[in-house]
Chain A
Amino acid sequence: MGIVHGEEMVLNIGPQHPSTHGVLRLHVQTDGEVVSHIEPVIGYLHRCFEKHCEHLTYEQVIPYTDRCDYIASMNNNFGYVVAMEEFLGIQVPERVEYIRVIMAELNRIASHLIALGTYGLDVGAFTPFLYMFRDRERILDLFELTCGARLLYNYMWVGGLSHDLPVGFVDACYRFLDDFEPNLKEYHDLLMYNKIFIERTADVGVLPAEVAIQYGVTGPNLRGSGVQWDLRKNEPYSIYDRFDFDIPVGTGQMGSVGDCWDRYWVRAQEMAESVKIIRQALQDLPAEGNVHEALPRKVRAPKGSIYKRTESPRGDLGYYIISDGKGTPFRVKMRSPAFTALSVLSEIASGWMISDVIAILGSLDIVLGEIDR
Chain B
Amino acid sequence: MMNAAVTEQIRERFPQALAEGKGDLFGETAGEDFVALAPEPWLDVARWLRDDPALKLDSLQCITGVDLGPEQPLEVRYNLHSMLHHHHAEIRIVVPREDPVVPSVAEVWKIADWFEREVYDLFGVTFTGHPNLKRILLPEDWEGYPLRKDYTEPETYHGIVVPKVKTGWE
**A318 interface residue (CB < 8 Å to B):** yes
Total number of A-B contacts with CB less than 8 angstroms? 99
**B18 interface residue (CB < 8 Å to A):** no
Q: Which of A320, A328, A347 contacts B79 (CB 8 A)?
A: A320
Cα A33 to Cα B80 with chains together (Å): 39
Chain B minimum-CB-distance residue to A52: B165
Cα A330 to Cα B25 with chains together (Å): 11
Q: Is the CB of B137 within 8 A of A327?
A: no
Cα A324 to Cα B68 with chains together (Å): 10
Q: Is the CB of B61 within 8 A of A305?
A: no
Closest 8 CB pairs of A and B: A216-B111, A335-B62, A43-B137, A303-B27, A333-B64, A214-B110, A303-B26, A46-B137
Q: What are 15 A-B pairs at a CB distance below 8 A? A: A43-B135, A43-B136, A215-B110, A216-B59, A216-B110, A227-B83, A304-B26, A320-B64, A328-B170, A330-B26, A331-B66, A335-B61, A343-B114, A344-B110, A373-B137
Q: Is the CB of B137 within 8 A of A55?
A: no
Q: Is the CB of A55 within 8 A of B61?
A: no
Q: Is the CB of A305 within 8 A of B113?
A: no
State whether A42 and B136 are in contact (beta carbons under 8 Å apart), knowing that A50-B147, A55-B165, A320-B64 are contacts in the complex: yes
B56, chain A: closest CB distance, angstroms: 11
Q: Is the CB of B169 within 8 A of A328?
A: yes
Chain B minimum-CB-distance residue to A214: B110
Which residues of B are at the interface with A, using a C-beta cutoff of 8 A? 25-28, 58-62, 64-67, 77, 79, 83, 86, 90, 109-111, 113-114, 122, 135-139, 146-147, 165-167, 169-170
Chain B minimum-CB-distance residue to A340: B111
Q: Is the CB of A323 within 8 A of B26?
A: yes
Cα A48 to Cα B147 with chains together (Å): 9
Cα A235 to Cα B87 with chains together (Å): 11
Q: Is the CB of B136 within 8 A of A215?
A: no
Question: Chain A contact residues (Cβ within 8 angstroms of B): what range?
Answer: 35 or more
**A134 interface residue (CB < 8 Å to B):** no
Q: Is the CB of A343 within 8 A of B167?
A: no
A-chain residues with CB within 8 Å of residue B79 when the two chains form the complex: 307, 318, 320, 335
Which residues of A are at the interface with B, using a C-beta cutoff of 8 A? 42-43, 46, 48, 50-52, 55-57, 60, 211, 213-216, 227, 229, 234-235, 303-305, 307, 309, 316, 318, 320, 322-328, 330-331, 333, 335, 339-340, 343-344, 347, 372-373
B3, chain A: closest CB distance, angstroms: 12
A-chain residues with CB within 8 Å of residue B64 when the two chains form the complex: 307, 320, 331, 333
Chain B minimum-CB-distance residue to A319: B62
- Known interface pairs A55-B166, A335-B61; 6 further A-B residue pairs with C-beta atoms within 8 A, sorted by A's residue number: A43-B139, A46-B138, A55-B165, A322-B26, A326-B170, A327-B170
Q: Is the CB of A318 within 8 A of B137?
A: no
Chain A minimum-CB-distance residue to B60: A216
A-chain residues with CB within 8 Å of residue B86 when the two chains form the complex: 234-235
B161, chain A: closest CB distance, angstroms: 16
B162, chain A: closest CB distance, angstroms: 11
Q: Which of A57, A318, A343, A344 contacts B62 (CB 8 A)?
A: A318
Q: Which of B59, B137, B169 contacts A60 (CB 8 A)?
A: B169
Chain A minimum-CB-distance residue to B25: A324
Q: Which of B27, B61, B147, B170 contacts A316 (CB 8 A)?
A: B61
Q: Is the CB of B28 within 8 A of A304?
A: yes
Chain A minimum-CB-distance residue to B148: A51
Cα A327 to Cα B83 with chains together (Å): 36
